[in-house]
């Protein structure tokens, strides 16, 4: 079954509101990556977190890796219409197997 879960599955926000998606793994991860997929497109890498408790920022996006390295979050401040898409977390499980989360689809209402 799915070993990397994300919540929520869907999120609708008014433009300017904040957005957060959460990622939970059944096992400890050596690192976690985040990807964005625009509608009709392919996943594009955003960032990688490696250290326990790590926090990284990219403009309005803030990424956190949990202390136990089993969960992560992506927070977007003041969403814009360009943020529309599905956000996936992904991590290595069982050696060379790279598993993706179920994704959170973000809709931004202008």
Task: List residues binding another protein (CB under 8 A).
Answer: 2, 4, 6, 9, 30-31, 33, 35, 41-45, 48, 88, 90, 92, 96-103
The CB-of-71 to another protein minimum distance in angstroms stands at 16
Cβ atoms < 10 Å from Cβ of 83: 19
Residue with Cβ nearer another protein (45 or 80):
45
Distance (Å, whole) CA 110 – CA 27: 38
Residue with Cβ nearer another protein (50 or 78):
50
The CB-of-20 to another protein minimum distance in angstroms stands at 18
The CB-of-87 to another protein minimum distance in angstroms stands at 11
Residue with Cβ nearer another protein (50 or 109):
50
Per-residue burial over 49-79, b = 16 or more CB atoms within 10 Å of its CB, e = otherwise:
beeeebebeeeebebbbbeebbbbbbebeeb
Distance (Å, whole) CA 15 – CA 11: 12
């Amino acid at each position: 079954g799915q070993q990397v879960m994300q919540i929520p599955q869907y999120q609708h926000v008014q433009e300017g509101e904040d957005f957060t998606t959460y990622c939970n793994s059944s096992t400890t991860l050596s690192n976690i990556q985040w990807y964005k997929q625009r509608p009709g497109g392919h996943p594009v890498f955003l960032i990688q977190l490696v250290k326990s408790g790590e926090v990284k920022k990219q403009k309005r996006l803030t990424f956190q890796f949990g202390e136990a390295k089993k969960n992560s979050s992506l927070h977007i401040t003041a969403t814009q219409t360009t943020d529309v898409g599905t956000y996936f977390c992904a991590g290595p499980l069982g050696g060379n197997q790279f598993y993706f989360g179920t994704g959170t689809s973000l809709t931004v209402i202008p």
